[in-house]
Structure 1
Amino acid sequence: MLVLLALAIAVIVLLATMNADAIWFTFVPTGILVFGALVAHSLGWFNKKAG
């Protein structure tokens, strides 16, 4: 999850350097976190190993 957060922060910095509109700052980092977490969860990366 920290990797997704770092990627979202990097995208925010990239958008700031490109002088993007405010709407991009809302949807792009949120989309990275949400869809990245969904993909990671579906791949089983958040499952705790028994034992």
Structure 2
Amino acid sequence: MLVLLALAIGAIALLAAVKADATWFTIVPLGILFVGSAVGQSLGWFNKKAGD
């Protein structure tokens, strides 16, 4: 999840650099977090094995 957060923060910095509209500052970072977490969960990246 920290990687997704870093990507979202990087996207905010990139949007600020290109002077994007305020709407994109909401859509893009939330999209990265929600879609990234859904994909990560479906791929089993967040499942911890018993005993680890």
> Could you list the runs of 5+ residues in structure 1 that have no partner in the other structure?
none
Cα-Cα RMSD: 0.4
Task: Please state whether the residue corresponding to 1:50 is helix, strand or coil.
Answer: coil
Query: What is the TM-score normalised by the length of structure 1?
Result: 0.97
Query: What is the TM-score normalised by the length of structure 2?
Result: 0.95
Aligned residues: 51
> Could you list the runs of 5+ residues in structure 2 that have no partner in the other structure?
none
Stretches of 4+ aligned residues off by more than 3 angstroms: none
Q: Distance in 1 between matches of 2:17 and 2:45?
A: 32
Is the counterpart of residue 25 in structure 1 residue 25 in structure 2? Answer: yes
